[in-house]
Chain A
Amino acid sequence: MLRTEDILRTVRMLQEENLDVRTVTLGINLMDCSSPDIDQLCQKIERKLVNKANRLVSVCNDIAGAYGIPIVNKRMAVSPISSVAAGHGEEGLLAVAHTLDRAAREVKVDLVGGYTALVQKGATPSELALMRSLPVVLSQTERVCSSVNVASTKAGINMDAVKMMGRIILDIARFTADRDGFGCAKLVVFANIPEDNPFMAGAYHGYGEPECVVNIGVSGPGVVKRALERFIAMGKSPDLGQVAEEIKTTSFRVTRVGELIGREVASALGFPFGIVDLSLAPTPKMGDSVGEILQAMGITVLGAPGSTAALALLNDAVKKGGLFASSSVGGMSGAFIPVSEDRALAHAVQQGTLRLEKLEAMTSVCSVGLDMIAIPGDTDADTISAIIADEAAIGMVNNKTTGVRLIPVPGKKAGDMAVFGGLFGEAAIIDIPTVGTSAPFVAKGGRIPAPLHSLNN
Chain B
Amino acid sequence: MPAHVVISLMSRDRVGIIAAVAKSIFSLGGTICAISQTVMDEYFTILLTADFPGDSSLDAVRQGLEAAGAPGEFHVSVRQRESARPRPPQARDGDGFVLTLTGKDRPDIISRVSAYLAGRAINIIDLFAHTRGDAFLLIGQVVVPRDQDIMQLQIDLKGLWKDYPLAVHLQHEDIFAATNEIAFTHSKI
Of residues 150 through 189 on chain B, the ones whose CB sits less than 8 Å from some CB of chain A are 150-151, 154, 167, 169-180, 184, 186, 188-189
By CB atoms of chain A within 10 A, which of B126, B139, B151, B180 has the most?
B180
B11 interface residue per 8 A CB criterion = no
Is B186 in contact with A263, judged by CB distance below 8 angstroms? Answer: yes
Is B98 in contact with A260, judged by CB distance below 8 angstroms? Answer: no
Is A13 in contact with B188, judged by CB distance below 8 angstroms? Answer: no
Is A264 in contact with B167, judged by CB distance below 8 angstroms? Answer: no
Shortest Cβ distance from A62 into B: residue? B151
Complex alpha-carbon distance, A266 and B189, angstroms? 10
Is A14 in contact with B174, judged by CB distance below 8 angstroms? Answer: no
B100 interface residue per 8 A CB criterion = yes
Q: Which residues from chain B contact A421 at a C-beta distance below 8 Å? A: none
Is B172 in contact with A2, judged by CB distance below 8 angstroms? Answer: no
Q: Please tell me which one of the listed residues A4, A65, A66 contacts residue B139 in the complex, with CB atoms under 8 A apart.
A: A4
Is B179 in contact with A10, judged by CB distance below 8 angstroms? Answer: yes
Contact A256/B139 with A66-B150, A264-B188 known, Cβ cut-off 8 Å: no
Is B176 in contact with A10, judged by CB distance below 8 angstroms? Answer: yes
Q: Which residues from chain B contact A67 at a C-beta distance below 8 Å? A: 171-172, 175
A273 interface residue per 8 A CB criterion = yes
A68 interface residue per 8 A CB criterion = yes
Is A10 in contact with B180, judged by CB distance below 8 angstroms? Answer: yes
Is B177 in contact with A2, judged by CB distance below 8 angstroms? Answer: yes
The minimal Cβ–Cβ distance linking B146 to chain A, given in whole angstroms, is: 12
Is A267 in contact with B188, judged by CB distance below 8 angstroms? Answer: yes
Complex alpha-carbon distance, A253 and B184, angstroms? 11
Contact A8/B175 with A66-B150, A263-B188, A273-B188 known, Cβ cut-off 8 Å: no
Q: Which residues from chain B contact A15 at a C-beta distance below 8 Å? A: 167, 169
Q: Which A residues lie at the B interface, using CB under 8 A? A: 1-4, 6-11, 13-15, 65-69, 252-253, 256-257, 259-260, 263-264, 266-267, 273
Q: A1-B126, A10-B176, A11-B171 are in contact. List 8 more A-B contacts (CB 8 A).
A: A6-B180, A7-B139, A10-B171, A11-B102, A65-B150, A68-B154, A68-B169, A259-B178
Q: Which B residues lie at the A interface, using CB under 8 A? A: 98, 100, 102, 126, 128, 137, 139, 141, 150-151, 154, 167, 169-180, 184, 186, 188-189
Give 9 CB contacts A-B under 8 Å.
A2-B176, A3-B180, A6-B176, A10-B176, A66-B151, A69-B175, A260-B178, A260-B186, A267-B188
* 6 cross-chain pairs, A with B, having the tightest CB-CB distances, nearest first: A256-B178, A263-B188, A253-B179, A6-B180, A267-B188, A65-B151
